[in-house]
Structure 1
């Protein structure tokens, strides 16, 4: 097995450590320099573990004039002055925010550390007035503009998102605190806030309305993440090692990584990027796995989906929406899409310039199947171990042409259905059916549709093509009749495989499959 001997910066978020300790670094310093020299107050929204903290740390080293850390990097050719500025770095990422006092204490502790350096104002009693005074004194004492860097500005808000009173308290505190960056503008050289979510202007940033939001900016669309070109240019030894470890050629390694980890787009015409956390872990472990998805469960997103009564089938197939519907989260609106997009579970797939409509979808297989697997326990009583068992057996039975065995196991999957019947029952069944067939798509060609112009589900195996139609308020015979009358099976007759039609009847009373017909 090939061992590269190169150090991969998994979990290393400090630029100084990466450079001094010999970790591999994908050079983003040209984009950093461009930002630093074309504007002042910036905001960037990116999913977790996408390199925001490292980017903040890189800015800190740059504005502290740490020229020696940038030897051999692009910025070395661009910067000539290397001026030293006072840097105020706020990191809200690693704390637990469970009470209003907790946020106040964390901010106060940070201010106290800066006051030990730049002094205390006698009449500064609030968090915002203390912050303003520190910025003013730091600028006056050094003769330089102050740099303010805020890492994960929204962490308190995300932790309180299902606690409306606490969320209101945090919004009020942070609105006043971040608003200082506008009133202290004449003392600032640069300001940069990062986070996962952009909370609407009216709630947090209304007093900081001069922010330059680069979250969907073409020029900075690849400032976090790894482009295809960067993957090939920086990781050739790791690609070779992964190739040898898995017995596949290097092109197949790149193709597999592209399916698993690529596909994030933060501008419709901007470059796409790979998830850096998953890429580094795949190279380190020499295995293709769902690394990013396993580091955090989107439970609050699923709860938002359920509360908003959002039809999950739309999420799975891709969403058409205007930009205003997914770029800002408003707590008063029952729309889960902004958080799902900004958290990294959806990305831009296409853009209709004429009607200014975006299509959002899962970026890659890691997110697609990780998200679908995560949803199963919320809609069925099936455990994680049982889910894997069922999906594997489903595929084996269909590949062997045994539709009856598939349906008997399908019936078992629905046993002990955990939800009471209500007005949403039909949609709930439809979502579960969607989940089953979408998860089968990892291992065989499975399609599910909501359009009445096509069958509910189609599965292609090497020898067979299955056409499924499901009826909640109808019979298995009517389902089969619809397959025939609508000609759902006709498009597949020319593919040279045996076409098997399956009509399925659900019983609302039994909350399970009542009967099926195979032809």
Structure 2
């Protein structure tokens, strides 16, 4: 038996399939995604499968990968039930976790990163662009000018671009918690390439035939988006849509199926019920919509548990993966102002003592309003520290 490897820490869908790794088939949700508006924004906790989905969608929609479709998707739901949009777009993908969060050089690093991704995009799709245009675009020093001209060209030549931004708030959150609110606001509300990048997106999403036909942004909170756009208005926030509740994370049946696979293969020797009981206590109960029927396991934690249990023939010594643990600097920032405890500390204390709180979930709010109770509770929910009770 050719036992599948566990894709713990891997977010390259092509590598997972070609390297015979275990993949929980979520591709049926591509149909749900296509039923949503063209420009969407999705919030999920850290290490919940966002990057894998962004990567998978690139393989699915990339017009350059038509010849790879059968190899990559033949054993999936979408392989048997493809949408008309498969392999239809030029895909442009950014991952802002790759931007150095040092405030003194973040604007320069951001421009450099955008520039490198744009150059790669032009090379991958060079047959779609006139050589003179590629040379002209590469001669521009400012990435803002490059982006603007690129999409104007795509609009004129009816080229359809699907733009992905993964971890859009990664380096801004780091700056907020390490350099402080004023530096953060200078980045998100001042002049510079980062803010202009989102202003350009705002313009493209409201412009007919802009070349930007689809947009998918992921992150861990709505705060940066609200601040950088002066009130969220790029696309639709679908984070609480019940139709994609199970889009990321594993259901109980999917988790049990993973355990059975490795147990039947002789790799996992622990009792399955014992494993499920532990994982239910530690990794379960995420719910991303009020009317969602199923709760979810953190997918990263499930893979971590199974991998460690197979290696050590016992449960992991540390049941929480170090990579999933929230950065406590971020939590400390939420409950202090000028190194003094604010009202959020008493709210957090109350939640810990009562194990619940009644609150709405706010879809968008700026950093200046984090001290408002409903916003604070919402942020804890987005971070994965609270969930919706069934």
Q: Assess same fold via TM > 0.5.
A: yes
2:92 aligns to what SS in structure 1? strand
The answer as to 2:235 corresponding to 1:211 is yes
Equivalents in 2 of 1:153, 1:240: separation in Å? 40
Equivalents in 1 of 2:388, 2:230: separation in Å? 27
The answer as to 2:387 corresponding to 1:347 is yes
Question: Which residue number in structure 2 is paired with residue 36 of structure 1?
Answer: 34
CA apart distance, 1:102:
2.7
2:98 aligns to what SS in structure 1? coil
After TM superposition, the structure 1 = structure 2 runs for residues 396-475 of structure 1, keeping only pairs within 5 Å, are: none
RMSD between aligned residues: 2.9
Count of aligned positions: 343
2:215 aligns to what SS in structure 1? strand
Q: 1:108 to 1:168 in 2, by over 3 A?
A: farther
Q: Alignment partner for residue 313 of structure 1, among 342, 349, 358?
A: 349
The answer as to 2:182 corresponding to 1:165 is yes
Question: Which residue number in structure 2 is paired with residue 280 of structure 1?
Answer: 303
Equivalents in 1 of 2:381, 2:153: separation in Å? 40
Equivalents in 1 of 2:287, 2:115: separation in Å? 37
Question: Which residue number in structure 1 is paired with residue 248 of structure 2?
Answer: 224
CA contact (8 A) 1:182 1:207 kept: no
The answer as to 2:15 corresponding to 1:17 is yes
After TM superposition, the structure 1 = structure 2 runs for residues 106-125 of structure 1, keeping only pairs within 5 Å, are: 106-115=113-122, 117=126, 118=129, 119=134, 120-121=136-137
Q: 1:144 to 1:101 in 2, by over 3 A?
A: closer
The answer as to 2:377 corresponding to 1:337 is yes
CA contact (8 A) 2:93 2:163 kept: yes
Question: Which residue number in structure 1 is paired with residue 69 of structure 2?
Answer: 67
Question: Which residue number in structure 1 is paired with residue 112 of structure 2?
Answer: 105
Task: Flag the structure with more relative contact order, 1 or 2, with Cα contacts below 8 A and sequence separation at least 6.
Answer: 2
Question: Which residue number in structure 2 is paired with residue 459 of structure 1?
Answer: none
2:165 aligns to what SS in structure 1? strand
Equivalents in 2 of 1:254, 1:158: separation in Å? 34
Question: Which residue number in structure 2 is paired with residue 473 of structure 1?
Answer: none
CA contact (8 A) 1:242 1:283 kept: no
Q: 1:277 to 1:122 in 2, by over 3 A?
A: closer
| Runs of 5+ unmatched residues, structure 2 | 310-314
CA contact (8 A) 1:4 1:238 kept: no
| Runs of 5+ unmatched residues, structure 1 | 351-519
Question: Which residue number in structure 1 is paired with residue 50 of structure 2?
Answer: 52
Q: 1:122 to 1:29 in 2, by over 3 A?
A: closer
CA contact (8 A) 2:201 2:234 kept: no
2:336 aligns to what SS in structure 1? helix
Q: 1:30 to 1:144 in 2, by over 3 A?
A: farther
Equivalents in 2 of 1:293, 1:349: separation in Å? 26
Q: Alignment partner for residue 191 of structure 1, among 195, 207, 215?
A: 215
CA apart distance, 1:206:
4.4
The answer as to 2:302 corresponding to 1:300 is no
The answer as to 2:139 corresponding to 1:136 is no
CA contact (8 A) 1:261 1:278 kept: yes
CA apart distance, 1:128:
3.2
Question: Which residue number in structure 1 is paired with residue 319 of structure 2?
Answer: 290
TM-score (norm 2): 0.78
1:43 aligns to what SS in structure 2? strand
Q: 1:292 to 1:47 in 2, by over 3 A?
A: farther
CA contact (8 A) 1:266 1:348 kept: yes
CA apart distance, 1:133:
1.9
1:319 aligns to what SS in structure 2? coil
Equivalents in 2 of 1:144, 1:241: separation in Å? 48
Structure having the higher strand fraction is 1
CA contact (8 A) 2:51 2:166 kept: yes
Q: 1:241 to 1:260 in 2, by over 3 A?
A: farther
TM-score (norm 1): 0.60
Equivalents in 1 of 2:112, 2:13: separation in Å? 28
Question: Which residue number in structure 2 is paired with residue 419 of structure 1?
Answer: none
CA contact (8 A) 2:175 2:184 kept: yes
Equivalents in 1 of 2:360, 2:287: separation in Å? 16
Q: 1:11 to 1:126 in 2, by over 3 A?
A: same
Equivalents in 2 of 1:125, 1:96: separation in Å? 20
Encode CA deviations 1:439-463: one digit per residue, 9 max, x unaligned. xxxxxxxxxxxxxxxxxxxxxxxxx
CA contact (8 A) 1:52 1:224 kept: yes
Encode CA deviations 1:94-118: one digit per residue, 9 max, x unaligned. 3321123332332233334445545
CA apart distance, 1:241:
7.7
